[in-house]
Amino acid sequence: IQSNTIAGNAFADFGTGCDVTNVSILSNTIGTNPDGDLSTSYNNRAAVTLCGYGHEIGRVAQGNVISGTYAGIGIINSGTDPAPPDSKNVLIRSNWIGTDPFERDLGGLFGVLLEDTFAEIGAAPDEEDSFQIAAQGNSIANQSLASVVIQRDALTPPGGTSVRGNLFAGDPPGVSIRLRTQGQIDCLDGGGSCALPNDFGDTDLGPNQQQNFPEFDAAQTLLNSSTGEVEIRYRVDSNLSDSSYPLQVDFYVASANFEGVDLYLGSDTYASADAGSFRNVAIDPVDPFTPVEGFLRATATDSEGNTSQMSEQLITVPEPGFGAGVFAGGLGLVGLAGRQRRMNRLL
């Protein structure tokens, strides 16, 4: 399904049955007018609703603009074989969801809703190339409740939904990625909290195994004025028995307090030898002259695709400079700088 304008339908603007597999949806405008600048999706379903497995929504340089007043994309489990990790239900990459390349507001309640399913939203769990991570990430914006909701039973089999390299703008505070157990009452229902604090050793179960997010050593996370690098000291409190190592830790900058992230910095591989311990990485270069500061945030993704919610500490860092290159040091960090702020992605 390529290069179409699809909108104005009562149930969903595009959908598949659960016996359908391997559908590619590329370079379309879905739920909008032909110019892609006005939402025309007014139903109570996701604009794109998929079942089955092996689907892809968007590729690098072939992303879709997707708008839905309820949700942009909804994925439900089909119970079909082969089961993950042999096959993901869907790959979602390089799309604009609730926005477009010009940053217009096409949002609804949710960006991506997943129920009892396995997916890759952005880069794969084992991707280490920062340019690929950035290019495959989606821009998800202007959602009034949450950008990504991953909902599963309390006891879940191995395998999860990875969420890597995506940019989120205009989120409600603290709800870029929500891991939610079915039947749970939380902030999305107007009651309770959407916070998911880390637990000791990461032994709890639930959606994405409720993977713990990275924790920063605030005193050792700072700009090195001599080298121009942002030095980050962090750890992930996840036992070897409760997360599948190695973990990929993705770093972002949020220009507003907890309201999403609008700059991807780079990623670091957190090996089994590091489990539970603090690790030092550095991002170079950083423009020391920029007047803009932001808040450092991060996610952790294990090798089975279980991505955490966003980290909850407020760590202020300078903004990386425009026109900068990539630093790949002996510590294993690959940092992407030179990207424009806000919702622009590598194409």
Where is average pLDDT lowest: 165-169, 210-214, 257-261, 327-331?
327-331
Q: Share the mean pLDDT of the chain.
A: 80
Nearest CA among 91, 57, 36, 104 for reference residue 7: 36
pLDDT band at 288, cuts 50/70/90? Answer: very low
Domain ranges of the chain: 1-191, 211-320
Nearest CA among 185, 134, 205 for reference residue 164: 134
The length of the chain, given as a count of residues: 347
**pLDDT per residue as tens digits for the range 9-41:** 777 888 888 888 899 999 999 998 777 777 776
Distance CA 45, CA 71 (A): 7
Mean pLDDT of the 145-163 span: 81
CA dihedral in degrees (30, 31, 37, 42; nearest 10)?
-170
Name the range with the highest mean pLDDT among 92-96, 103-107, 311-315.
92-96
Mean pLDDT of the 74-101 span: 76
- Burial code of 277-288, b = ≥16 C-beta within 10 A, e = fewer? eebebbbbbbbe
Task: State the DSSP code for 64.
Answer: P
Detail the DSSP E strand segments found in 129-199: 139-141, 146-152, 162-164, 167-169, 177-181
Name the range with the highest mean pLDDT among 27-41, 122-136, 219-233.
122-136
DSSP-derived pairing of the beta strands 146-152 and 177-181: parallel
For residue 160, give Cα distances in angstroms to 137, 199, 221: 17, 19, 30
pLDDT given for residue 100 in this prediction: 92
Q: Cβ distance 265 to 320 under 8 Å?
A: yes
Distance CA 209, CA 160 (A): 8
Name the range with the highest mean pLDDT among 48-52, 244-248, 324-328, 334-338.
244-248
- As beta bridge partners, residue 149 has 113, 178
Name the range with the highest mean pLDDT among 81-90, 134-143, 214-223, 316-325.
134-143
Q: What percent of the chain has pLDDT over 90?
A: 42
Question: Residue 273, SS3?
Answer: helix
Mean pLDDT of the 163-177 span: 85
Number of alpha helices (DSSP H) and beta strands (DSSP E) in the chain: 1, 28
Q: Which CATH superfamily is domain 211-320 in?
A: SOR catalytic domain (2.60.40.730)
pLDDT given for residue 37 in this prediction: 77
Concatenated DSSP letters of 181-228: ETT---GGGTSS-------GGG---SGGGGPPPPEE-GGG-EEETTTT
Distance CA 273, CA 240 (A): 9
Q: Cβ distance 194 to 175 under 8 Å?
A: yes
Q: Which token pair is 293?
A: 């500061």
pLDDT at residue 81 tops 60: no
Distance CA 225, CA 63 (A): 39
pLDDT given for residue 247 in this prediction: 98
pLDDT given for residue 263 in this prediction: 81
Q: What percent of the chain has pLDDT over 70?
A: 80
pLDDT band at 346, cuts 50/70/90? Answer: very low
Task: State the DSSP code for 135.
Answer: H
- Residue 130 parent element (H or E): helix 130-136
Q: Which token pair is 245?
A: 């190592």
**pLDDT per residue as tens digits for the range 291-341:** 336 788 999 999 999 999 999 887 887 644 433 332 222 223 333 333 333
